[in-house]
Structure 1
Amino acid sequence: MTDLFTASTLPPTGATTAASRSRSGNGRDRKAARRRKLRRQVRTLLVLVITLAAVAGAGWFVFRETDLFGFVSPLESKDFPGPGGEQVQVEIAPGAPGEAMGQALYDAGVVASVGAFVEAYEANPNAQLIQAGTHVMLTEMRAADAVALLAKNEKVELKLTIPEGYTVAQVVDRAVEVTGLDRAAFDAALADPASIGLPAEAGGKAEGWLAPSTYYVVPNDTPASLLSQMVQQTVGSLTQRGVPQDQWQAVLTKASLVEREAKFPQDRPKMARAIENRLERGMTLDIDASTAYGLGKPGTELTYEDNHDANNPYALYVHLGLPPTPIANPGSSALDAVLNPEPGDWVFWVAVNLDTGETKFAETIQQHNKNVEELRAWQAANGG
């Protein structure tokens, strides 16, 4: 057997042929080339990663600092130098967090950014005092000044106070005077009971259902919304007192009579009892205030003929029972008197002093006539 690698075919020990040197050199070059290529690829990848990171960071900055149309974003904490320009009204919603307040102010041109407002809001301990409502602000305010002004709660509010015993006509007069809203719009709302939430028990008439109270009027209020608040407060009062719904109108009617007849709170429970006693005995109520309401004239100007005019459904000297509707809008004390009348057998009452309104109650006609004599004496001493 012949060894393929005989001495004649092997190079001398320690020697390298030109061909072998060439092959060895080429191998080293290829390896070096691969290493250089790898280093270039790594550098390229690093550059790409850094570039992408820079682009992403720039994109986030652009997203934060500009909106889709290229304007400065409200998220940027830019601030106006102040002190402010023209007045504007800003509505702060109930329970609004600082970000929502800032957005409302930014939209109105009050602050330069939501971010600046939120920072100022979080830095001001009085910010938690800010109340919902319409606030008067200035355009281009410093965020810190805007927070401080909001915390003062100098809101745009009109106070509409409706006294106890006002009629619907008087309520509308007062509302038009205070708010400047159109009277025709009030009339239109009253003519549309559904628009003010008037219950079916009212029979389409708002008399007695416009609760006396103080109402805070904001710029977006309308006659219908104001009247609706009054109706809802009355419904709430009746519901809270546990009055069955089928008795709502009767209770309001009785309370309106008490409201207009009794001058002092301590007289109202007695008055309510006297009215109940007369109704139970089938007696006419003989209430001047009802006659006056039906005729649209002051009670002090009534005549005997007025009180006995059968054409007036509110003339309770000739018509048994309650009048067709309440004659005024009663307050809470009149409602409570009707629901909790004072125990007693009174069926008569008369004001014996027309200046002070002092009223005396009687169980019998004899007692009543004596009280009437006292009234006549006062009239004689005071010019009739």
Structure 2
Amino acid sequence: MSQDDFFAQIGVEPPAGSADSPPPTRRDRKRRTKERKRRRRRRRIVTTLIVVLFLAGAGYGGYWAYRGLREAAPAPSVSDYKGPGETEIQVEIPDGASGQEIGQILYDKGVVASVGAFADAYAANTNSGNIQAGIYTLKTKMSAANAVAALLDPASQTRRLTIPEGFTQTQVKEKLMSTGGFTPAEVDAAFADAAGIGLPAVAGGHVEGWLAPDTYNVSENATATEIVAEMVRRTVSRLKNAGVAEADYETVLIKASIVEREATPAYYGQVARVIDNRLADTDGDTQGKLGMDSTILYGLGRSGGMPTQAELEDASNPYNTRIHAGLPPTPIGSPGKGTITAVLNPPAGDWLYFVTINLDTGETRFASTYAEQQANEQLLQQYCAANEAKCSGGTHKS
């Protein structure tokens, strides 16, 4: 290998004036220049590849290092209470609620510490899908697992008992048995336990009229006496809040129960005024007699229809207000707040009679004289002639 070839191989110009190297030709210089450019390109490519490989290796190693640290670290825990809870609270679970939705309800009520804790406990319990809609007696600050268990326990579920306005003692008893799950003997014993249910002395031992129309939550462990006592308590509370003196409790309930049976809400006040006017009319046309069929039917054990002529004339029925002057012996049902208010604040008027002349609209006419009442009853007869089937169940008139 000549000296020129050696220096060309390593990419270096041979020393000037070398003894055995002739002066380079123009072609030699061009060839050497191209060779130097190729060598520089190869070095740049190699350097770039080395950098890329280094960065890729560093990133790959970093990922696995991060993954290893993450898997080694403990998972974040959700907040949860410990134990069976503290204070009783009633919670309503709507129909179709999901586990997440139930958890949110319980969290909002302070039962569980977090929705996440309940969701985990719900998912862990294989029976959680059996949780039913309803009202439950739970406790505040329960562990999520205890909350799920309580929702699955029938003893935690509370039944809802609704008593409508105007219900009689007999109808309330049927509700207590069908919805409350009590036996006839349990209900009868509760009704008879005046002291146990807090029945005021003015009631004379009779619960009729004192069983407040309302909605009650009946827990699995509740007794009939406890539920009836709550009904009486609410009635007493309403009378007190309305400013009724205790000596007048029974009188107000009797009047309100008659209004409840005789009138629609639009006419509560006017019917209440008719009652007062007829009671005061001892020397007039009514002779202090209410003359209302609703009281007669109550005494016969019926809540609808029309009394027969013989029943209208039956003096043995103490609730026959066509025969007996004054108020009947007891209320004839459970009056609501609206009728109690109407009895306490009736509008001014000298009406002694009333009759519902249209059973579709409930339109009722009031009269001060019997002649006016007869004219109004003609309107009712015209209506009944055109609607015979609707009049077969009886009409409201006095």
Tell whether 2:324 aligns with 1:319.
Answer: yes
Contact 2:88/2:137, CA 8 A, preserved across alignment: no
SS at 1:157's partner residue?
strand
Counterpart residue number, 1:45: none
| Counterpart residue type for residue 238 of structure 1 | L
Contact 1:307/1:316, CA 8 A, preserved across alignment: no
The 1:250–1:122 alpha-carbon spacing in structure 2 relative to 1, beyond 3 Å, is: same
Map of 1:61-210 to 2, 5 A cutoff?
Answer: 93-94=87-88, 134-135=137-138, 143-146=143-146, 156-210=157-211
Contact 1:288/1:299, CA 8 A, preserved across alignment: no
| Counterpart residue type for residue 236 of structure 1 | S
The 1:375–1:202 alpha-carbon spacing in structure 2 relative to 1, beyond 3 Å, is: same
Contact 1:157/1:217, CA 8 A, preserved across alignment: yes
Map of 1:339-354 to 2, 5 A cutoff?
Answer: 339-354=344-359
Show CA shifts across 1:70-121 (max 9, x none).
Answer: xxxxxxxxx9xxxxxxxxxx7863489xxxxxxxxxxxxxxxxxxxxxxx95
Counterpart residue number, 1:329: 334
Counterpart residue number, 1:237: 238
Map of 1:283-298 to 2, 5 A cutoff?
Answer: 283-298=288-303
Which structure 2 segments of 5+ residues have no match?
1-76, 78-83, 91-110, 119-134, 283-287, 392-398
Q: Distance in 2 between matches of 1:178 and 1:241?
A: 30
Contact 2:291/2:321, CA 8 A, preserved across alignment: yes
Counterpart residue number, 2:251: 250
Q: Distance in 2 between matches of 1:334 and 1:160?
A: 22
The 1:126–1:235 alpha-carbon spacing in structure 2 relative to 1, beyond 3 Å, is: farther
| Counterpart residue type for residue 168 of structure 1 | Q
Residue number among 303, 306, 315 corresponding to 1:301 in the alignment = 306
Shift, 1:236, TM fit: 0.4
Counterpart residue number, 1:87: none
Shift, 1:180, TM fit: 1.6
Q: Distance in 1 between matches of 2:226 and 2:328?
A: 28
| Counterpart residue type for residue 267 of structure 2 | D
| Counterpart residue type for residue 87 of structure 2 | A
Contact 2:254/2:331, CA 8 A, preserved across alignment: yes
Q: Distance in 1 between matches of 2:201 and 2:216?
A: 24
Q: Distance in 2 between matches of 1:126 and 1:245?
A: 52
Counterpart residue number, 2:44: none
Q: Distance in 2 between matches of 1:341 and 1:288?
A: 21
Shift, 1:342, TM fit: 1.2
* Greater radius of gyration (CA): 2
Q: Distance in 2 between matches of 1:337 and 1:351?
A: 19
The 1:278–1:181 alpha-carbon spacing in structure 2 relative to 1, beyond 3 Å, is: same
Shift, 1:358, TM fit: 2.7
SS at 1:361's partner residue?
strand
TM-score (norm 1): 0.62
| Counterpart residue type for residue 200 of structure 1 | A
Shift, 1:241, TM fit: 0.8
Contact 1:351/1:375, CA 8 A, preserved across alignment: yes
Q: Distance in 2 between matches of 1:95 and 1:174?
A: 25
SS at 1:230's partner residue?
helix
Q: Distance in 2 between matches of 1:357 and 1:304?
A: 25
The 1:208–1:126 alpha-carbon spacing in structure 2 relative to 1, beyond 3 Å, is: farther
Q: Distance in 2 between matches of 1:233 and 1:240?
A: 10
The 1:377–1:248 alpha-carbon spacing in structure 2 relative to 1, beyond 3 Å, is: same
Shift, 1:335, TM fit: 0.3
Counterpart residue number, 1:279: 279
Show CA shifts across 1:138-159 (max 9, x none).
Answer: xxxx9445568989xx961211
| Counterpart residue type for residue 206 of structure 1 | V
Which structure 1 segments of 5+ residues have no match?
1-78, 80-89, 97-119, 137-141
SS at 2:179's partner residue?
helix
Shift, 1:122, TM fit: 5.3
Shift, 1:230, TM fit: 0.2
Contact 2:169/2:211, CA 8 A, preserved across alignment: yes
